Amino acid sequence: MLVELRLLEIPQALKSLAGVKMELEDCAYPCLSKVVCTTDPLEAFDSADCIVLVGGFPRKKGMARNDLIHANTKIFTEMGAAIDEVASPNVKVLVVANPANTNCLVTLNEATSIPTKNFCALSFLDHQRAKAQIAKRLGVSTARVRNVTIWGNHSETQYPDPLTDGYCIRDDGREVSLASLLKDDVEWVTNDFISTVQNRGKSVIEVRGNSSALSAAMASADCLKTWLVTGTNDGETVSMAIYNDKGYYGIKKGIVFSFPCVCRDGNWYVKEGLDLSDFAREKLAVTEEELVEERLAAEELIVKSRLRSLSTTSLTSSESDVEMTNSTHSGNYLKSRI
Ligand SMILES: NC(=O)c1ccc[n+]([C@@H]2O[C@H](COP(=O)([O-])OP(=O)(O)OC[C@H]3O[C@@H](n4cnc5c(N)ncnc54)[C@H](O)[C@@H]3O)[C@@H](O)[C@H]2O)c1
């Protein structure tokens, strides 16, 4: 299968994008048929089968969280609208740019013609980080560590959880639960491990001076490969932040939340029925609350911009009544998918 890549940038970055294009050509990938550089989302997404949303507004020093959400809500509303207008109806969308979960929610809320199952935000990198930390602690290869789960937001409130469903493959091929292997190491799990994984992105920035690049790119590629091409191996889950329309594990509907997922035939399915400890439930509640707050901040901006467009668009009185009525319920404005 041949791949045509469309690289979307803001105008100021087009020159360096041309350098990326040159490098891609120099890799001589046998399956890469064409590389297009553009600043127009409608050109970038036209008939696209797969979209990875990486570009966003970065958090600047001293920037309040709500301002970051607002800046990105503007961008991802535009992305969602363009996807809705021109992408393939079966397009699959992976959102990487932060705040990834809420950017994904804003995008899928705007792209109402695309099923919500076709969207996910990247928590796969956190999953890999968690797996690597456990493997290091146990002195085994990462390939032997299975079903560590990232629950919730791709942020410092996420709950990296090796205990609920995690297991390790021993030399003789037997599966042993991580809960039993780590039973004398609970202190490490509940303190060092959780905070190391939660803060890993920040630690990389501190040491490297830039955010994760290779690991984020690998995780994005592996997430897409597992979701769309290979599926998960029998008995294995991966972490994916998906639109929670079913209220999985009692988590509020209408947010994008990371769950343990099984992938088959190009679809993900949340692994249900896992027994969560009280400790895990507490951790899930914290990250759920943060995502609800992020959603409210995004809604705030959407309401404001709709009100602005109302004042510049002439509506019939009945249309106007509907808009204004909805807009007063700002806590639940994200139109159709909440
Ligand atoms: N989910 C994860 O696990 C994860 C991991 C690493 C990075 N990230 C996030 O991914 C994003 C990219 O990270 P990075 O280190 O490559 O950042 P970066 O700043 O190096 O690159 C972002 C690029 O996006 C472009 N851009 C900005 N606004 C745009 C728009 N409206 N349309 C198109 N392009 C736009 C910028 O010009 C820039 O080239 C950041 O938001 C980062 O926080 C997420």
Domains of the chain: 2-121+325-337 (3.40.50.720), 124-291 (3.90.110.10)
56 CA → ligand 1 middle, Å: 5
Neighbours of 216 (CB within 10 A): 18
pLDDT at position 199: 96
Question: Best substitution site from 60, 70, 83, 211 to test ligand 1's pocket, by max atoms within 8 Å of Cβ?
Answer: 211
Give the position of tokens 């087009």: 14
Token pair recorded at residue 284: 């899930």
Ligand 1: does its nearest atom lie under 6 Å from the Cβ of 98?
Answer: yes
Per-residue confidence at 28, pLDDT binned at 50, 70, 90?
very high
Per-residue confidence at 312, pLDDT binned at 50, 70, 90?
low
pLDDT at position 322: 33
Catalytic, out of 70, 127, 154, 329 = 154
pLDDT at position 325: 33
Give the position of tokens 């002195």: 139
pLDDT at position 323: 35
Mean pLDDT over all residues of the chain? 91
Higher pLDDT, 65 or 84: 84
pLDDT in tens, 256-279: 999 999 999 999 999 999 999 999
pLDDT at position 304: 75
Nearest residue (by CA) to ligand 1, atom 38, is: 55
pLDDT at position 219: 98
pLDDT at position 243: 97
pLDDT at position 189: 97
pLDDT at position 315: 39
Higher pLDDT, 243 or 63: 243
Ligand 1: does its nearest atom lie under 6 Å from the Cβ of 8?
Answer: yes
154 is catalytic: yes
Total-model pTM:
0.92
CA within 13 Å, CB half, 148:
30
CA within 13 Å, CB half, 209:
0
Distance CA 198, CA 181 (A): 22
pLDDT in tens, 216-238: 999 999 999 999 999 999 999 99
